[in-house]
Structure formats: structure tokens, C-alpha cells
């Protein structure tokens, strides 16, 4: 219902209430006139009694009852008048009460009517007040509350909280208006999500490219080191030295970019698929560019659930760390347990202090043996992260008899 109709109805109700009260007041005036008439009549009767008129004649003419103090029945008649609620007036003669003049118009009846009128007036006023409050409630419900909701909604939007919908209440006078605002919120939310996703995709791309480029750069550096040992020609060594220096510069730039990106990125994409376990042999064969590799046994033939690119990065990271920090041949051993393939990477170096081993897979952590060596402290962190995302795992420990072991667990299909 529109507000103007409610206002019209409320005005009509107030007019009817005013008319009703006016009529009741007129009735009350009639009651008051009746009482005034009775008082006037009692004065006339008193005067005629003083003039000597017959009381019985006066009772007949004025339709009243007269009890004189000189009558034997005065007390009983006066008690009757009071008991029955007659309108009783004093008959005064020579300044003293000489009797009573009573009319059948009962005072109690007049008082009852007066009380009823007061109750009626109070009831009408109460109804008018309730109706007024009702109108105020309707105005609040239809107008004030929707705008209060819009105010709160705008505050949430200004703070970037786009998940809180704008309430769509039934019979909302501004329903279409409210719906438009909520649609605006949804569009802002979608736009914000698209922006976040785009920013995230860019960061992931930078992180992925940075880490992917780092692997071939490390291979270039390893190849340069092999050539420095193998060739003695000064011209070749000079060129190799330039290549190695440039590769080192590129590696530093990649490390800086990757670190800055990973600082803001919670995770890199890992998408496991079914692959043959033979890819592990391929990865191991490529490690010859880093240094001496001793493969203890063949890879068990089965299907494994891995992200091929991420698994290659894990193997490269572990092997690169081994050659960088241990400087010994790398032993690799495969084993098969239930639904898992275990790969052990073992060197013959000094190992790692026991209290540092739990921290090796922490982001940006570099152990005491890394002092003076290039690196960002992300290799084992990423390797552990990638293996967890593929449903496997990574564990690092010292080797009995000397050396360090990194074991990765690959899930079978």
C-alpha cells in the first residue's frame, strides 16, 4: 500500500474520532444542563415552602419528594433518598436546614455516565496514538529501514567487503532500487575476483618462468665447469669463463625476481597426471651435466601420479644442492613399497647439523654450510611443496657413516 493512502486513512480516522468526541461532549453538556435545572427547581421549591405553599402540591407540580424536619418520617425518608442515589438538595429556612428536596434523577447515574465518557475519550485517544505509531512503523518499515540497509551496505562496500549481500525483504517499497545495488555489488565482486585472478596468474607465470629458467642456467654453469677441467686452450677457457659469468648474472637476476614474486604468492600450480616411472630414469640421466652420478638399481616399472615438470625441478634441485654443498658423487637408489616409489639421493659429504635438518624445507632458510655460496634458500622448500602437492613427500636426514640423504616418495596410480 502506498504511503499517501495510509496518510489519508489516518487523517480520516482522526476526523471521525474528533467528531465522536464532539458528540459526547454535547451529551455531557446536556447532563450538566439537567443538573443545573434540578438545582434551579430546588431553589424555587424552597422559596415556595417558605412562602407557605403546600408541600404535597409542590411534590405533585415539580415531581419531587419533600421531607420536612418536623415530620416524623424525616429520618427514614432521608435515608431512602441517599440509599437510592436520588439527587438531594437542602431546604433552608431562616438560615437553618429545615428539610430535604429529592429528585428521582440519580447522581450516581450521572457520575457513571461521566466516567463512561472519560473512558471513551481515553480509548479514542489511545486508538489514535496506536494508529499514529502504526503509521510511523509503516514509514520506518517502507522507507527508513531500506535506506539504513543501503547505508550499511555502502559502508561494507567502501571497506572492500563484497561478500555481504544486500537483504531483499518482501514488500520492500524500494525493491527494484535495492536489487540494482545488490547487482552492482555482485559485479564489483566479480570484477575484483577477475583482477585478483589476473594478478595471481601473472605472479604464477613469473614464478614458474623464473624457476624453469633457473634449471637450464644451472646446467650451463655445470657444463662450463666441466669444460674448464677438460680443455686447456686459453681461448676456449676465456670464452667459457665469459659464458659462466653471464650465466651466474642471469641466475642472480632470476633468484631476485623469483624471491620477490614468491613472497607474495602462496603456492605454485601443481597438476598431477599419470606418467610412466621411466621418466625418473630420464631425469637421472640428465644429471650427468652436474657431476658424477651413480645409479644403484633400475627404476621399478609402474604408473606414477606426478606433475612431470615439477618432479623434474625436484630432482634438479636435490642434485644441484648435493653437488654444490657436498661436492661428491651422487648415489641414487630406487625402491618400491606398496603404492609408493621411493627415490634416495645420497652424497658422501659432511652432512648437515641435526638441529638444522627440520629447517631445510622452510622458505628462504639457508644452513650454516651455505655461507659464501650462491642460492636463495628456496630449493628444498619448493621441492617439499611440489611433492606434497603431488600426494607424495620429501624427507631429509644425515647418512649413517657420513653424508646426507634426501628421500622423495612418489605415489603410484
The string of pLDDT tens digits covering residues 317-370 is 898 888 888 889 999 999 998 899 999 999 998 889 888 888 888 877 777 777
C-alpha cell at 13: 480516522
User: Which of 1-17 are b and which e, b meaning 16 or more Cβ less than 10 Å from the residue's Cβ?
Assistant: eeeeebeeebeebeeeb
Give the largest CA-CA distance in the chain. 168
pLDDT in tens, 1-18: 455 666 677 667 767 766
C-alpha cell at 20: 465522536
Top-ranked range on mean pLDDT: pick from 26-30, 134-138, 155-159: 134-138
Phi, psi of 89 (to 5 degrees): -125, 150
pLDDT band at 31 (very low <50, low <70, confident <90, very high): very low
Distance in angstroms (rounded) separating the CA atoms of residues 321 and 325: 6
pLDDT in tens, 291-320: 788 999 999 999 999 998 889 889 988 988
Q: Whose CA is closest to 364, among 376, 380, 352?
A: 376
C-alpha cell at 80: 431512602
Q: What is the pLDDT of residue 57?
A: 92
User: Which of 58-83 are b and which e, b meaning 16 or more Cβ less than 10 Å from the residue's Cβ?
Assistant: beeebebbbbeeeeeeeeebbeebee
Q: Using the predicted structure, report yes or no on whether residue 388 has a pLDDT greater than 90.
A: yes
Distance in angstroms (rounded) separating the CA atoms of residues 267 and 385: 8
What are the sequence ranges of the domains in the chain? 3-129, 270-413
pLDDT in tens, 258-278: 665 655 544 567 889 999 999
Q: pTM surpassing 0.75?
A: no
User: Which of 202-230 are b and which e, b meaning 16 or more Cβ less than 10 Å from the residue's Cβ?
Assistant: ebeebbbebbebbbebbbbbbbbbebeee
Distance in angstroms (rounded) separating the CA atoms of residues 219 and 216: 5
Distance in angstroms (rounded) separating the CA atoms of residues 300 and 287: 19
pLDDT in tens, 226-250: 788 888 888 888 888 878 877 776 7
Place of cell 474520532: 17
pLDDT band at 201 (very low <50, low <70, confident <90, very high): low
Distance in angstroms (rounded) separating the CA atoms of residues 275 and 281: 12
Q: What is the pLDDT of residue 26?
A: 53
Distance in angstroms (rounded) separating the CA atoms of residues 108 and 92: 24
Q: How many CB atoms lie within 10 A of CB 168?
A: 11
Cα-based distances in Å from 271 to 9, 25, 268, 305, 380: 69, 90, 10, 10, 19
Which helix (H) or strand (E) element contains residue 393? Answer: strand 393-398
Distance in angstroms (rounded) separating the CA atoms of residues 101 and 78: 9
The domain 270-413 is placed in CATH, from the list 3.40.50.920, 3.30.565.10, 3.30.1360.200, 1.10.8.420, at 3.30.565.10
C-alpha cell at 411: 605415489
3-state secondary structure (DSSP) of residue 382: helix
What strands lie across the sheet with 293-295, from one edge to the other?
Answer: 293-295, 330-337, 340-346, 404-411, 393-398
Do the Cβ atoms of 329 and 323 come closer than 8 Å? no
Distance in angstroms (rounded) separating the CA atoms of residues 41 and 49: 12
Q: What is the pLDDT of residue 30?
A: 43
Amino acid at each position: 500500500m502506498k504511503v499517501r493512502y495510509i496518510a489519508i486513512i489516518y487523517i480520516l480516522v482522526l476526523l471521525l474520532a474528533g467528531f465522536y468526541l464532539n458528540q459526547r461532549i454535547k451529551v455531557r453538556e446536556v447532563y450538566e444542563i439537567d443538573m443545573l435545572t434540578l438545582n434551579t427547581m430546588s431553589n424555587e421549591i424552597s422559596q415556595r415552602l417558605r412562602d407557605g405553599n403546600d408541600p404535597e402540591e409542590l411534590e405533585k407540580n415539580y415531581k419531587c419528594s419533600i421531607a420536612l424536619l418536623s415530620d416524623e418520617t424525616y429520618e427514614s425518608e432521608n435515608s431512602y433518598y441517599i440509599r437510592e442515589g436520588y439527587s438531594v438538595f437542602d431546604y433552608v429556612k431562616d438560615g437553618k436546614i429545615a428539610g430535604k428536596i429529592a429528585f428521582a434523577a440519580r447522581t450516581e447515574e450521572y457520575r457513571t455516565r461521566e466516567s463512561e465518557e472519560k473512558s471513551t475519550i481515553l480509548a479514542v485517544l489511545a486508538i489514535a496514538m496506536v494508529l499514529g505509531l502504526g503509521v510511523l512503523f509503516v514509514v520506518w518499515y517502507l522507507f527508513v529501514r531500506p535506506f539504513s540497509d543501503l547505508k550499511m551496505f555502502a559502508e561494507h562496500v567502501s571497506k572492500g567487503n563484497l561478500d555481504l549481500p544486500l537483504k531483499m525483504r518482501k514488500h520492500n517499497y524500494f525493491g527494484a532500487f535495492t536489487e540494482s545495488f545488490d547487482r552492482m555489488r555482485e559485479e564489483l565482486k566479480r570484477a575484483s575476483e577477475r583482477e585478483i585472478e589476473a594478478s595471481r596468474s601473472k605472479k604464477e607465470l613469473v614464478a614458474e618462468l623464473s624457476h624453469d629458467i633457473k634449471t637450464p642456467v644451472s646446467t650451463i654453469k655445470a657444463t662450463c665447469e666441466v669444460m674448464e677441467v677438460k680443455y686447456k686452450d686459453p681461448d676456449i677457457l676465456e670464452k667459457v669463463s665469459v659464458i659462466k659469468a653471464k650465466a651466474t648474472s642471469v641466475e642472480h637476476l632470476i633468484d631476485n625476481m623469483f624471491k620477490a614474486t614468491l613472497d607474495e604468492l602462496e603456492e605454485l600450480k601443481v597438476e598431477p597426471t599419470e606418467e610412466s616411472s621411466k621418466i625418473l630414469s630420464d631425469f637421472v640421466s640428465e644429471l650427468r651435466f652436474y657431476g658424477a652420478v651413480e645409479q644403484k638399481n633400475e627404476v621399478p616399472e609402474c604408473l606414477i601420479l606426478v606433475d612431470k615438470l615439477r618432479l623434474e625441478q625436484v630432482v634438479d634441485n636435490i642434485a644441484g644442492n648435493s653437488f654444490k654443498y657436498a661436492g661428491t658423487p651422487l648415489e641414487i637408489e630406487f625402491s618400491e613399497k606398496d603404492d609408493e616409489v621411493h627415490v634416495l639421493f645420497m652424497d658422501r659429504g659432511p652432512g648437515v647439523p641435526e638441529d638444522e635438518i627440520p629447517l631445510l624445507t622452510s622458505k628462504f632458510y639457508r644452513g650454516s654450510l651455505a655461507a659464501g655460496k650462491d642460492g636463495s634458500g628456496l630449493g628444498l622448500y619448493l621441492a617439499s611443496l611440489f611433492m606434497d602437492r603431488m600426494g607424495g613427500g620429501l624427507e631429509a636426514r644425515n647418512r649413517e657413516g657420513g653424508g646426507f640423504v634426501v628421500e622423495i616418495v612418489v605415489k603410484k596410480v
